[in-house]
Chains A and B, each alone.
Chain A
Amino acid sequence: MSSTSSVTAIDGSAREGGINWSAVYKFSLTAIAYPLMGIAVMVALWWLGGWMIANNPDTSSFADFAPAPAFARLLDLVANGYVLEATIPSLERIGLGLLWAALLGVPVGVAIGLYAVVREVSHVPFQFLRMISPLAWMPIAVLAFETWDGAIVFLIAVAAIWPILFSTAQGVRRIDPLWFKVAKNLGADGSQMLRRIILPAIGQDIFAGVRLAVGVAWIVLVPAEYLGVTSGLGYAINDARDTLEYDTLAAMVVVIGIIGFFLDGICVSMIKRLSWHAEG
Chain B
Amino acid sequence: MSTNISIDYITHTFKGADAPTLKDIELKIQPGEKIALIGRSGCGKSTLLHMLAGLLLPSEGCVRIHGHQVSKPSAKWNMMFQKASLYPWMSVRENAELGLVFAGKKDPAKIDYLMSLVGLTDKADANVQSLSGGQQQRVALARSLATSPDLLLLDEPFSALDAFTRSSLQDEVADIVSREDLTMVIVTHDIDEAVAMADRVLIMSANPGRIVGEMAVDLPFPRNRASVEFSRSREQLMNQFESLVGDADLEHSQAETVDTNKTESETTDAQKAA
Residues of A within 8 A of B (CB): 114-116, 176-190, 192, 196-197, 200-201, 203, 276-278
Contacts and interface: CB of A to CB of B under 8 A. Distances in A.
Interface in B113-143: 127, 129-130, 143
Nearest to A192: B102
B102 A186 contact: yes
Interface stretch (B82-90, B179-187, B202-210): B82-90
B89 A201 contact: yes
Contacts of B98: 183, 186, 196
Nearest to A116: B272
26 contacts: A114-B272, A177-B267, A177-B268, A178-B81, A178-B83, A179-B87, A180-B268, A180-B271, A181-B81, A182-B79, A184-B73, A184-B274, A185-B75, A186-B98, A186-B99, A186-B102, A186-B143, A187-B73, A187-B75, A187-B102, A188-B102, A192-B102, A196-B98, A197-B87, A200-B90, A201-B89
Contacts of B143: 186
A278 B130 contact: yes
Contacts of B79: 181-182, 185
B233 interface: no
Interface in B226-274: 264, 267-268, 271-272, 274
A177 B272 contact: no
B128 to A, nearest CB: 9
A183 B140 CA distance: 12
Contacts of B267: 177, 180-181
Contacts of B127: 278
Given A182-B81, A276-B89, 8 more contacts: A181-B55, A185-B55, A185-B73, A186-B78, A186-B99, A189-B102, A201-B87, A276-B129
B27 interface: no
B85 A179 contact: yes
A70 B68 CA distance: 79
A201 B85 CA distance: 13
Interface residues of B, number: 30
B101 interface: yes
B74 interface: yes
A185 B53 contact: yes
A183 B102 CA distance: 9
Nearest to A190: B274
A49 to B, nearest CB: 48
Q: Which of B53, B83, B88 has the most CB of A within 10 A?
A: B88
A205 to B, nearest CB: 13
B272 to A, nearest CB: 6
Contacts of A190: 274
A277 B147 contact: no
A5 B97 CA distance: 51
Residue in A116, A176, A182, A201 whose Cβ sees the most chain B Cβ within 10 Å: A182
A151 to B, nearest CB: 39
Nearest to B99: A186
CB-based closest 6 A-B pairs:
A186-B99, A187-B75, A276-B89, A278-B129, A276-B88, A178-B85
Contacts of B90: 200
Contacts of A179: 85, 87
Contacts of B103: 187
A115 B274 CA distance: 11
Contacts of B53: 185
A261 to B, nearest CB: 29
A256 B143 CA distance: 51
B274 A186 contact: no
A181 B79 CA distance: 9
Given A114-B272, A177-B267, A277 B102 contact: no
Nearest to A200: B89
A176 to B, nearest CB: 7
A186 B89 contact: no
Contacts of A184: 55, 73, 271, 274
A250 B106 CA distance: 59
Contacts of A277: 88, 129
Contacts of A114: 272
B167 to A, nearest CB: 24
Contacts of B129: 276-278
Given A177-B264, A188-B102, A278 B88 contact: yes
Among A114, A184, A278, the one with the most B-chain Cβ atoms within 10 Å of its Cβ is A184
B147 A187 contact: yes
A97 to B, nearest CB: 29
Nearest to A204: B89
A32 B247 CA distance: 67
A195 to B, nearest CB: 10
A157 B82 CA distance: 44
A278 B274 CA distance: 32
Given A200-B89, A277-B88, A278-B88, A185 B78 contact: yes
